[in-house]
Structure 1
């Protein structure tokens, strides 16, 4: 499932490529025909990301709410204006590691296809023509415009040079400003939206009064926005916290540490496009980790492999129908 960093990256792409421009909207799949007709020809005016949901505003206070869910993704094609301060997943835009050490411009290719610039959300391949600066010079002669529709596209949004195709979302709906505000109000704090200190207090107070296991609370979007299965496993390991401990029994300092670590990891995820959770890696190790998910996580997807800290076999179990990875010794 796409996690919070992906949705913030999507919102930044929409801010640079769609906000302020008239948009042509259609529903090639046919499941959002009426909604597409309402926003067709309108100008995109604002975009917000909160947790795993994105809200795109149009003229006359019409909001498009998109929740990617398990399988959703936005595929971008055409001329994509890339924010040079935000690194793409292939490492071509000034990639830096956690210590701020600049790496060279050679591509870092992720075999898992996780959160590439071309397709942000569930991993998939797509054709894309990307310019690595704010200057656009038109399409290559052999490129078709508009791009051919491939697969089941719920919603296609186009400007004169950029196309965004939405596939497989859990939710795609138009909302009034009041409905949009109500949707946001149901969500827990997001470090990139809410005041970080206020978010910490809200998160801590919520967790500390819940009898629910902390491993479930971190996945509850009403408790904290944006954390999914990968980040859940990683922040719990980094805190050496047993996932089965009831929230109210987790020490307050640990709850606060979980929030602060989420603030840090979310920022890294937005910058790099990857859920990088390993710290203090040498440049070569960092590049290896960016290219392979197996080298960028402490416990996620490592069932049966030795813990990187204590050597105990990492276990995987079902928690609320999702796979939970953890170390039974480090997180005892």
Structure 2
């Protein structure tokens, strides 16, 4: 029994691997949702969220209501083995649930949620699109393949239908008191479950070495006299390590060479030890030598005599006018 179940599970898994369709996961489900929302649901699903789920293994899609909005989730693990059309059909199936949640406040999933209103919308969409939306999804092989944790009972229930003592689960949760059938199993069978199969363990990445935590130290350990003396005794002749400098660029070397040349020029012309005032007046004296002082005096006397003659003439003219008037 044990070998048969393990062999069946492996063969089923290999078959599904050949059917894996990566194009389904590349579909933009949000853009599909917006198109179908306008086409079939009058744009009423604006408050609905659509997302992929990596944890769903029992059903291909689910829709549930929260406060004021709905959430649609699609299973990656199941739909990756199906066609793109089946993805569209699953999305539309869940959108019908979301539409009924938003339109009808009394709608609920307690009575399965696939009543007359659901079936009416389903048939209309199938007629318009040519799809084959159904009430229930048929993903039996995919669901079975995801249940990689298998337990087998060693009691008499191994020979009883429909499970033959097998418990298959997608998560590593062993059968126990939390299961609703546990008490009945104890009374009718009384056997114990043993794990016979689990998924292949992934190789764990090597962990990075943890950094050493610094111990609590006192200030005296860093700045105290004892610490300084100890370091001197340990390495008295130790020289500080020379840090390697980066090589200068071409522009920096050119600037340095120009500066060095200017410094050398200034060194070649030493400054004067004493300062003489005659150096300041030397240019003025050279100009004064060019001017003739006698010429200046003759010009000045000539101007003065001309002005005197003009004044005498003016005075005579004034006196004549005064006499005539008198």
- TM-score normalised over the length of structure 2: 0.18
- Which structure would you say has the larger Rg? 2
* Greater relative contact order structure (CA < 8 Å, 6+ sep): 1
Which structure is higher in helix share?
2
Which structure is higher in strand share?
1
